[in-house]
A and B are shown apart, each in its own frame.
Chain A
Amino acid sequence: MSTDLEARLTHAMHAAHAPDLLDVDAEAIVTGGRRAVRRRRTILGSACVALLLAIGVGVTHWSPLSVEDHRSVAPAATPHRQVVHVDPHAFDGSGQVGVEEWTISPDESLRRVTVTEERSDGSRAKQVLTWDFDDVPTIPSTDATVAPIRAGLRSLGAGTFLVVTPADASHAQLITGAAVPPHGWAVAGPNLERIDGTSYAVGLFQVPRSEMKAVAGFRMRLGDRVVDTRGTAYATTRLPDSDDLVWAAADGRFGIMTAEGSDSAWDAAGADEPGILGSFWSGPRPDMKADIPGFTSVATFGIAPHGATDIQVLYPENWPDQSMSYVTLPGREEQLVVARASAPTKPGGSPDTGAIRLAWTDARGKRHTAR
């Protein structure tokens, strides 16, 4: 019986109709590989510098970083791109997808792009995307032709993005796919030209889910906004000292897309009081003290009230690698605070997250601390 089963398994594994898997773009892999080699060299160099610094100043643990500290080093929030998630269920992927029409209302409050799929059976599927585009100068209405997508949209489980950017060098790379991180596919949309001659372009490109954070992190700047097809706005930031993307939605949801491609989402809509929302731990990281047995990397989320200054996530002093970031919740005044540290694990493996506190100073100068 075992032999029959083994034979059946072998046959099924070789003969089964696998889903329509996309071919790997070898050229893109090479591009991504070169980038990984460069990044590794940079990380090694940075690690040497950090080690020399640590030896030089005798650092044994870090004090909590304040928002002001972070602001002083954070890149300016100068969004000039809009990224819209195209609903993957809108198209069946059998045909070519492109941008059909781009319009702006007379008062410039509404920007609309019609994305169309021309299917192999001749039918057409349309999706109209609208969003507020107040960070980008006016673009006149124009008609455009449907542009073919290079690799097709067969794998609609991956993220599909519509991107509008100024037609500068980075945009040109984006549209050709050269700058799309290793596994992306790009399609050139119509070029949109303003009366003053400034060019913009619309592009559609598709990336696997694990690359969504790379798209956001690599292509969007801190503070850029993402709007989904239902009009929900998202703000993004990075989990400190990592490539993980933290996002917060206008409806109170927030979440993390880790560099490894896993997602977690939570809802802070019911969190009326400022304080710690909770913590997330995901195992040791090779670049931090969490690599030492007995330490675990912990990420902590909190809500700081409107007008709060000198925000700090207070970890126990023996938790090294402390760092912090924040993002203003879309449509709200509060800030989603994101911090991380390496926590000594207790017997059983869980860090003592109950000891974490959020501290801030209100508009009257009074200091607050909350769980």
Chain B
Amino acid sequence: MRRDDAEFTAFVEASQASLLRTAWLLTGNGAAAEELVQAALVKTYVAWPRVRRESATAYARKIVVRLHLDSTRRGHREPLTRTGSVPERASHDVYSESGDEILALLQYLPPRQRAIVVLRYYADASEADTARTLGITAGAVKSGASRGLATLRRLMDPAAADADAARSLT
């Protein structure tokens, strides 16, 4: 095994748990998370000679997030006759095994807001780092996080959220 490959293998073993959890939080789907991380790691391998070792996990996480956001943007379809089932399709309950309502509610956030929430509150990324990862401004990160939290709050307790909103208007 080449030295770079040995180094990369060690990196994969050290970082995969965190990357898998990030991907799972983004997708809400175990199988999709595995695929996302694997695809991101292949891309990381291709770029490995240029990747700074101290920020390799952040680099791979950035690819995970961007691949996920790309996949959510893709695909305008024109129905042909009617939709059938593909040869084999698995169904997954989003965050079904998490046991925490708040994670189940993550799925209601738009993809970019969800990515902001995951990067800020799971990966502990700063607003600036989150902005760099997503290719947006720090201001957009701040407003996205704020909106995401507001949505989660509203979903968790509609009555309290309405009361808060009413108070803020007066």
The interface of chain A, by Cβ under 8 A from chain B, is 1-2, 5-6, 8-10, 12-24, 26-27, 29-30, 32-34, 36-37, 40, 85, 87-88, 155-159, 182-183, 208-212, 226, 228, 232, 234, 247, 249, 253, 255, 257, 260-268, 270-271, 277-283, 301, 349-350, 353
Contact = CB atoms under 8 A, between A and B. Distances in A.
Contacts of A87: 88
| Secondary structure class of chain B's binding surface, majority of residues | helix
Interface of B: 5, 8-9, 12-13, 16, 20-21, 24-25, 29-31, 33-35, 37-39, 41-46, 48, 70-71, 73-92, 95-100, 102-103, 117-118, 121-122, 124, 149, 152-153, 156, 164
A87 B88 CA distance: 8
A263 B88 CA distance: 10
Nearest to A298: B78
Nearest to B93: A19
B78 to A, nearest CB: 6
Contacts of B30: 18-21, 155, 157
A34 B149 CA distance: 41
Contact of B16 (A18, A23, A27): A23
A9 B117 contact: yes
B31 A18 contact: no
Given A1-B153, A34-B45, A36-B45, 15 more contacts: A6-B121, A10-B122, A10-B124, A32-B38, A33-B41, A33-B45, A33-B46, A36-B46, A37-B45, A155-B31, A157-B30, A257-B86, A265-B83, A265-B85, A268-B80
Contact of A261 (B35, B44, B99): B35
Nearest to B67: A260
B34 A88 contact: no
B42 A32 contact: yes
A263 B37 CA distance: 19
Nearest to B150: A2
Contacts of B71: 260-262
Given A24-B20, A85-B88, A266-B82, A29 B38 contact: yes
29 contacts: A1-B164, A6-B121, A9-B102, A13-B21, A13-B103, A16-B100, A18-B97, A23-B16, A24-B34, A24-B41, A26-B8, A26-B9, A29-B42, A32-B38, A33-B41, A33-B42, A36-B42, A40-B46, A85-B88, A87-B88, A182-B42, A210-B39, A234-B87, A260-B70, A262-B74, A266-B80, A277-B81, A281-B77, A301-B80
Q: Taking each of A24, A232, A277, which has the highest tally of chain B beta carbons within 10 Å of its own beta carbon?
A: A24
A266 B79 contact: yes
A53 B86 CA distance: 39
Nearest to B123: A13
